[in-house]
Amino acid sequence: MKHAWISAVLAGALALGAAWPAGAADHWDMAYIGRMTLPEHVTFEEGEQKSLDFLQTGGIRWTFIRSGMMNGVFYTMTYADGTDFSYGWAASAAVGVPYLVRQGETAYRNKTPSEQMDVIAEHMNEEIRRSGAEFAGSEPLVRLSDREHPRWEGAFTITRKENGVTYREAYQMVLQVSGFRVVLGLINSDADRKELTADLAEMMKERRFYKEKDLLAAFLRNG
């Protein structure tokens, strides 16, 4: 289905991806996206968080691949502050021509990464709206005026019910040009933990972008 990938991603946790340096204890290196200063009591570890949501699709990695994503790197988030404990997840993946082709945007095969990113963002905004997400403003993702680091950023909340229980999940999302590719970054957390959600949003906003040589090495290493 054309828009199936975003529904699967928004449904639950993500699976195992490629290697990326862990960074210092108070920092987190999110593959292709940037280095971030972690909020207190929050850790991210690369690896798979098991979820029943992806049994029928073969896991999130294959969901990404089938929808045109590439080079996925996935993380499990843990929030532990005294008696408060919560899980979340994050994902980083390259997205470009394969995704555009699946959306029928064949005219953009030879366009610049920045031009491709803008078209991808339009489709992702549509998918997020169709998912029933709540967000501030007119669109979930908004393009930021930054010549050096072209990107779209946004936040939204998904509410779903499972076995009579209501779950509210918060998402921080970025679509940016990193090196010669467009990359997608997602961070998921419990929307009812408003302070944590705000801290993660600030963490994403204040990230330090990788240098071009580091991005090229990463893309060559991960394929």
Tally of structural domains, the chain: 1
Q: pLDDT band at residue 22, thresholds of 50, 70 and 90?
A: very low
Q: Which residues make Cβ contacts (< 8 Å) with residue 188, sequence separation at least 6?
A: 13, 77, 88, 89, 90, 169, 170, 171
Q: Are the C-beta atoms of residues 65 and 9 closer than 8 Å to each other?
A: no
Q: How far apart are the first and last CA of the chain?
A: 26
pLDDT in tens, 166-190: 889 999 999 999 888 899 999 989 9
pTM of the model: 0.84
Q: Residue 112: is its pLDDT beyond 70?
A: yes
Q: What CATH number corresponds to the domain at position 118?
A: 3.40.1000
What is the arithmetic mean of pLDDT over 109-137? 93
Q: pLDDT band at residue 110, thresholds of 50, 70 and 90?
A: confident
Structural domain range at position 37: 4-222
Alpha helices in 42-111 (DSSP H): 60-66, 97-102
Round to whole Å and give the CA distance between 26 and 141.
28
What is the arithmetic mean of pLDDT over 79-104? 89
Three-state SS at 71: strand
Neighbour count for residue 55 (Cβ, 10 Å) = 9
Residue 31 or residue 218, greater confidence? 31
H-run or E-run covering 35: strand 34-37
**86: which strand partners?**
79
